[in-house]
Amino acid sequence: MERPRFVTLEERFAKAKSSMVASTIPKSLFYHGKKHAYNSFKFFENFGILLRRYRSCEMIIGIGVDIIEVERIRKLAEKSPRFLKRVFTDKEIKYCNRKKNKFQHLAARFAAKEAFFKALGKKIKWTDVGVINLPSGKPELALKREGSFSFNRSYVSLSHLQDYAIAYVVLEKSGMSKG
């Protein structure tokens, strides 16, 4: 295996000086010890040009997870029929009523709402957020007021067993702007 060629510090700075992106690359990326620089400067040079042209802002702004006992949801639903109407959307109730183990599905959706509130950092009306399933079966958050939140994308994962249901929600803000 051929050893990578190291370039002297003087060669690296001469090349960087002529480059438009030298100021965007930290000097620590040039050094290998005190005398040599990595030969990967071309990668950083191209990456710097891309960053200068388009400043991409993608970041996770919230993560939430919640686990709940299925029995708790079953007891609440049987004790107070209004509970389902206060917490779940009509689509969620209709979807879960078609299932054999409807309380597992209701519990998973309850956990998803709780996880969403944790990721968002505030609580909104229960029926303003719902979980729908795409034809593929993938769950998605459905929001009544989509434009009023500080995130662009949301990801949700649901899982349930006989006794427990869990949900995981990630909220992401992304955007491209010319720089």
Give the residue numbers annotated as catalytic, written as ranges. Answer: 118, 160
CA pair distance 106, 138, nearest whole angstrom: 16
Bridge partners for 113 per DSSP: none
CA pair distance 120, 63, nearest whole angstrom: 8
* Residues in Cβ contact with 103 at an 8 Å cutoff, skipping those fewer than 6 apart: 70, 73, 74, 77, 96
> How many angstroms separate the first and last alpha carbons of the chain?
41
CA pair distance 88, 81, nearest whole angstrom: 12
* Residues in Cβ contact with 85 at an 8 Å cutoff, skipping those fewer than 6 apart: 93
Among residues 2, 24, 27, 1, the alpha carbon closest in space to that of 13 is found at 27
Among residues 3, 46, 10, 4, the alpha carbon closest in space to that of 31 is found at 10
Q: Among all chains, which residue has been given the structure tokens 């709780």?
A: 114
